[in-house]
Amino acid sequence: MKTGIVLIHGAGLGGWIWRDMVQYLDLPYQVVNFPFRDSNTKITNLRLSDYCAEIHKQIMKCEEFSHYVVVGHSIGSVPAIYLTKQQSDRVKGFVALSSLLPSYGESFVSQLPLVNRVILSTVIKLKGTKPPPDIIKSSICNDLEEDVAEMVASSYATESPYLFFDPSKCELPQIPSLYIKTKRDKDIPTGLQQKMADKLDSCSVDSINTGHLPMLSQPEKLSIKIQNFAKLF
- Longest Cα separation, the chain: 49
> What are the pLDDT digits (tens) for 126-168?
888 999 999 999 999 999 999 999 999 999 999 999 999 999 9
pTM of the model: 0.96
**Of 3-7, 38-42, 115-119, 147-151, where does mean pLDDT reach its minimum?**
38-42
Domains identified in the chain and CATH numbers? 4-230 (3.40.50.1820)
* pLDDT value at residue 37: 76
DSSP characters for the chain? -PPEEEEE--TT--GGGGTTGGGG--S-EEEE--TTTTS----TT--HHHHHHHHHHHHHT--S-SSEEEEEEGGGHHHHHHHHHHTTTTEEEEEEES-----TT--SGGGS-HHHHHHHHHHHHHH-S---HHHHHHHTTTTS-HHHHHHHHHH-----THHHHSPP-SPPP-S-EEEEEETT-SSS-HHHHHHHHTTSTTEEEEEESS-S-HHHHSHHHHHHHHHHHHTT-
Contact indicator for 181, 208 with CB cutoff of 8 Å: yes
